[in-house]
Amino acid sequence: MNKPLVTRALFRWLLEPVLTMGLVVFATTAIAQPFYIPSGSMEPTLQIGDALLGSKFAYGYSRYSLPFGFGPASQTRLLGKLPKRGDVVIFKLPRDPHETLIKRVIGLPGDRVQMVRGRLMINGQMVRLEPAGIGRVEQADGHLDEIDRFVETLPGGVKHLIFKARWNGPLDDTPVFAVPAGHIFAMGDNRDNSTDSRVAPDDGGVGFVPAENLVARADLMLGSYDYLNARAVWTWLGQIRLSRFLHTI
């Protein structure tokens, strides 16, 4: 067989998978990336078993925008901008960048954040909180417990639901956290069951999140599956949460 023909055929055979891999890497690096929710710290907004799409271009790009975090460390982001208060963000845990978390942005640089008797204070003002009935919170074994639900209105007007069962827990009275430049303060919507910026890194928490550690903004719910309750084979299909498919976060 003619060697140039063999070479061209081999090149064409390799070109398609290489281009496909290149497009996948580009898409997950520059455009969007799917993420999966394994815990209940963001209930009721996000449930265990949710799959969502994060927009990677929303805050610009850092080394954590690249696959496996390859890239130089930098305090600035390419085309970078800070999140808005109330955004649900995906980020690398500052004390262990191998771990990816998702929380809501509560404080921006210069803000002073505090919890007083279970109520959120931002810049000395108590955040508005309105009762919103009873919700159901999922435990690690799949069991559902009833819990009080509230609508919280952040400065700027963003409204979102939170779960709150008690007002005297270990994270319900805190010192004032002054958010430094280039950082955010993030909290879970399931306020009694979220290890977040209220907990210092030395105590196993998150602390302030550097802008460099932002990966994406959570924008679209792709779907949801209640795997914790999918025990017997005949129950598997019934655990698909159709009501949570394809809606904005």
CA distances from 202 to 95, 96, 170 (A): 9, 12, 16
Question: Which residues are marked as active site?
Answer: 41, 103
Residue 92 burial (C-beta neighbours within 10 Å; 0-12, 13-18, 19+) = buried
Tokens coding 176: 């004032």
Phi, psi for residue 37 in degrees, rounded to 5: -100, 110
- Quote the CA–CA distance of 82 and 104 in Å, as a whole number: 13
